[in-house]
Structure 1
Amino acid sequence: MTEDVPHPYSIEVSPLAKPEGHFGWAIRRNGKLTERSDRPYLTERKAWEAAAAAVERDLKPGADARRR
């Protein structure tokens, strides 16, 4: 995926072993894992879009307070 992700975030999309042919994602902030998908996605594109939406949610003010 070539879309830009705001610094200091990074998105990793990878194929899952089970179910085969599906993808999952992980979000890192300054290299530290902050969130990962809990469901499989049929395409790499759908997984990336879900991860990008999670980054956007994390950027909103008060995101840390909602996670506790």
Structure 2
Amino acid sequence: MSDVPHPYSIEVSPLTKPEGHFQWAIRKSGKLSERSDRPHWSESKAFESAMEAVERAMKPGTDGGGRR
């Protein structure tokens, strides 16, 4: 899995329902920033989805960065 840019961290965890699926949570400086809204088929797919969310959050004009 690739490196998550500072100050973000990604937590991927298994779901009990539906069993065998995964969810993610993104933290910025330790504070919950965003959570997945749907189950993912694998841990790697969940991580990939979380990285896309981090990249979106880092773009100017979003909650994550570049705001005036």
TM-score, scaled to structure 1: 0.90
2:17 maps to what in 1? Answer: 18
1:9-29 Cα distance to aligned partner (Å, 9 max, x none): 000000001100000000000
SS, match of residue 63 in structure 1: coil
1:34 maps to what in 2? Answer: 33
Give the C-alpha shift of residue 3 in structure 1.
1.4
Q: Number of matched residues? A: 63
2:3 maps to what in 1? Answer: 4
Percent pairwise identity: 71
Counterpart of 2:9, as a letter, is S
TM-score, scaled to structure 2: 0.90
Quick check: which one's helix share is greater? 1
Residue segments in structure 1 that go unaligned for 5+ positions in a row: none
Q: How many angstroms apart in 2 are the aligned matches of 1:33 and 1:53?
A: 16
1:11-51 Cα distance to aligned partner (Å, 9 max, x none): 00000011000000000000000000010000001000000
